[in-house]
Structure 1
Amino acid sequence: MKKNTLPLPLLGGITVDQFLKEYWHKKPLLIRQAVPGFQPLIPKAELFAMAARDDVESRLISFINQHWEMKAGPQEKLPLKEKKDWTLLVQGVNLHDDQADTLLRQFRFIPDSRLDDLMISFATDGGGVGPHFDSYDVFLLQAHGQRKWRIGAQKDLTLIEGMPLKILRNFKAEQEFILEPGDMLYLPPKYAHDGIAIGECMTYSIGFRAPSFQELGESFLHFMSDSIDLPGRYADPDLTASSRPAEISNDMLEQVGAEIAKIQFTDDDVLIFLGEHLTEPKPSVFFNGPEKPLTPKRFEQTARKNGIKLSRKSQMLYKGKHIFINGESFAVGKEDKICLNKLANDRQLDGSDLAAVSADAMEAFCLWYEDGWLEIR
């Protein structure tokens, strides 16, 4: 039986195929006890300390005198926990904690090219970020305390002007739920929702990437600028005198237009761009290699014995002969492709998996190890 046709407790006992067909991008799904007995993976004090770091993206949201305020991190000082109506959002917690990374990876029934990060929201009583919508799919897993969710499939997505947050002007709830620890709510893109803490609570948000075509188009043109090859220089040996010196001539337009029309791109160009773009680390991501790295020979011996694993910060994808990791790409032969595809899918390799890799692949693994992209298991 195929894995995607088996009931998945995380989805409330429905199969992945059923979820994708009936709910993904289509309608909400409330899952009671998606993770039975779930407890917060990170204590409050540790989460607050994480928010104070400059390599962690965080936001402090407050609702004061009927007005929303937002402060970007690092969060050196937080409001008193006894004070109501404030929320701390800590983005990319999976990049900094193994347990958070393991939880995020449970959602890999959605491809890595779409899976983004795990955000933790800590809120005091009444805290929230206002009625809003996201442009991407999201799973909202309750970790601690209770949160009341009001949701609606409204078409009116008009926002209140002058706010630091995207707050819906005319929010109309159609359904209301109270989530307990272990409960989870899935929402498709642009589904209006408003979550309000009942007492102190923590919610884990598993979000997905949905880049705009404008963003992709601009990034692709920048990517292609390195490969454009248009030799020669504009010239007009047959230039004639003009009585309108400020007018751009048709000859110039035609000549330049003809040269620009020579710029073409292939499916391979799009693939390499997309692989590098999707694996490019976010600006706040920094890799740390080992303080005392093994020599290449010792690394190979140890890797073949113990195996290797990707750093939780590493993003790795593949397609055909192309491998993409952390914004870089390269083509591989058939033997190495099997091993590298397995590393991308499983995010780790046993020592036995490395038996047949080429010297080039082992050299790449050693460089990735030195850069902090992968680790010895």
Structure 2
Amino acid sequence: MTFTDFDVDLFLRDYWQKKPLLIRNPWGRWVNPVEPDELAGLACEEGVESRLIGRADGRWTVEHGPMPEDRFGHMGAAPWTLLVQAVDMHVPDVAALIAPFRFVPNWRIDDVMVSYATDGGGVGAHYDQYDVFLIQGLGRRRWRVGKHCDADTPLLLQEDLRLLAEFEQTDEWVLEPGDILYVPPGIAHDGVAVGDDCMTYSVGFRAPARSELVEQFCAHIVGDMVDDDRYADPDLIVQANPGEIDAVALARLQAMVAQAVNDPAAFARWFGAYNSERKYPELDFRPEEPIAAEDVRELVEDGVALCRNPASRFAFVAQGEGGLTLFVDGQVYDCDGAAAVLAGQLCEADRLVIDPALIEDEAAVALIVTLFNEGSVSFDPED
């Protein structure tokens, strides 16, 4: 799917992380990518994160999946909403929704959550800590947006939901199929289904918290430290008051910490691996039959396309002299020459017909073999 009428540069300049934007059906031809019954089926599967949200007697209720297969036949008349996370991992047509938004770097993209709601269904007024594009798939939904929120904004005490205690509306729109509402981080919003069979696709983005980065990077580097790397003061002199921690000592102590964390190359290598870890690492996508180098060469020569697993995360950091460090599902691969060219192409495209000249390089072939046997890529069976 692609956009036919959308000014990316204007959007990034005037709206991205600044203010909401309603985008009326920018698609060449909108086709809803997953049917309600298929979404309900996913919610019943093990390993698929789902929630069923309703409201009764003035209180919100939340059920976590997997749902019993007969659950949706006993919902009653009260409004309800089904939320299924990371549907792009399971439905290729939903994964295709991400492509038009790749003007944002891939490492920032999280997943596509899909919701189904009956008339009046919603999840309440709330705010997210990340950017989101809300695509109307089926039916209609009324969206209200409000002011910016932060950690001091009062919340309702509702189990498993972060709902706003107060919501002051600043704008309102009804979205039809194909329409998109962009909501920046921190902006209050509330969506309610207008009629039955309301489906919304939420393309969400990742925004690591400073606390998360500090905690995780420090935990990583501590593992490589040795106990005999300690504070030293060979130029110590007598202090006027032995109870004081003086400025010289504090500066040395702080420098010990700063030197440990202020290593750009080490941080890049750690962050690439950390950020590329799979959302659900417990899922095993490795093939039943591993592939060998000769199999790769034959498939490439036959023009069979190589496809990324929608559940995998690919990224790279450029290195000097045309090399790069490739990160796939938390693993690190140092590449140069033909392997670097191939790695860059894999990060750019979901589906790639490989230049046969690349497979003359053993490192490039070995990279494909490793990624295939890890379940991160596959050869398209339809080619």
Look up the match of 1:141: 135
Counterpart check, 1:172 vs 2:168: yes
Listed as ranges, the matches of 1:1-377 within 5 Å are 10=3, 13-35=5-27, 38-76=30-68, 77-78=71-72, 80=74, 83-155=77-149, 157-200=153-196, 201-231=198-228, 261=257, 263-283=260-280, 286-305=283-302, 306-320=304-318, 321-352=324-355, 355=358, 358-377=361-380
Instruction: Sort the Cα spacing of 1:294 and 1:269 in 2 relative to 1 into closer, same or farther, 3 A.
Output: closer
Instruction: Sort the Cα spacing of 1:223 and 1:358 in 2 relative to 1 into closer, same or farther, 3 A.
Output: farther
CA distance in 2, matches of 1:144, 1:135: 26
Instruction: Sort the Cα spacing of 1:291 and 1:28 in 2 relative to 1 into closer, same or farther, 3 A.
Output: same
Deviation at 1:268, TM superposition (A): 0.6
Q: List alignment gaps of at least 5 residues for structure 2.
A: 232-242, 319-323
CA distance in 1, matches of 2:360, 2:147: 51
Aligned residues: percent identity? Answer: 32
Is residue 51–residue 58 contact of structure 1 (8 Å, CA) maintained in 2? yes
Deviation at 1:104, TM superposition (A): 1.5
* 1:136-178 deviation line (CA, Å, top 9, x unaligned): 1111111111111111124583211344311111101111111
- 78-87 or 106-115, which deviates more: 78-87
CA distance in 1, matches of 2:371, 2:62: 38
CA distance in 2, matches of 1:70, 1:325: 34
CA distance in 1, matches of 2:285, 2:18: 41
CA distance in 1, matches of 2:325, 2:165: 46
Deviation at 1:330, TM superposition (A): 2.4
Supply the AA of the counterpart residue of 1:172.
E
Supply the AA of the counterpart residue of 2:8.
V
Is residue 287–residue 313 contact of structure 1 (8 Å, CA) maintained in 2? no
CA distance in 2, matches of 1:309, 1:25: 32
Is residue 6–residue 26 contact of structure 2 (8 Å, CA) maintained in 1? no
Deviation at 1:276, TM superposition (A): 0.7
Is residue 55–residue 80 contact of structure 2 (8 Å, CA) maintained in 1? yes
Instruction: Sort the Cα spacing of 1:264 and 1:226 in 2 relative to 1 into closer, same or farther, 3 A.
Output: same
* 1:303-362 deviation line (CA, Å, top 9, x unaligned): 343242211111110111211111011222233212211111123332325525631231
CA distance in 1, matches of 2:34, 2:362: 41
Deviation at 1:369, TM superposition (A): 1.0
Supply the AA of the counterpart residue of 1:175.
D
CA distance in 1, matches of 2:299, 2:148: 57
Q: List alignment gaps of at least 5 residues for structure 1.
A: 1-7, 235-247
Supply the AA of the counterpart residue of 1:166.
R
Instruction: Sort the Cα spacing of 1:263 and 1:176 in 2 relative to 1 into closer, same or farther, 3 A.
Output: closer
Deviation at 1:107, TM superposition (A): 1.1
Instruction: Sort the Cα spacing of 1:185 and 1:71 in 2 relative to 1 into closer, same or farther, 3 A.
Output: same
Is residue 230–residue 259 contact of structure 1 (8 Å, CA) maintained in 2? no
CA distance in 2, matches of 1:311, 1:67: 40
Is residue 127–residue 149 contact of structure 2 (8 Å, CA) maintained in 1? no
* 1:90-149 deviation line (CA, Å, top 9, x unaligned): 000001111111112221111101111111000111110000111111111111111111
Is residue 342–residue 364 contact of structure 2 (8 Å, CA) maintained in 1? no
Instruction: Sort the Cα spacing of 1:366 and 1:48 in 2 relative to 1 into closer, same or farther, 3 A.
Output: same
Instruction: Sort the Cα spacing of 1:357 and 1:94 in 2 relative to 1 into closer, same or farther, 3 A.
Output: farther
Instruction: Sort the Cα spacing of 1:81 and 1:353 in 2 relative to 1 into closer, same or farther, 3 A.
Output: farther
Deviation at 1:232, TM superposition (A): 7.3
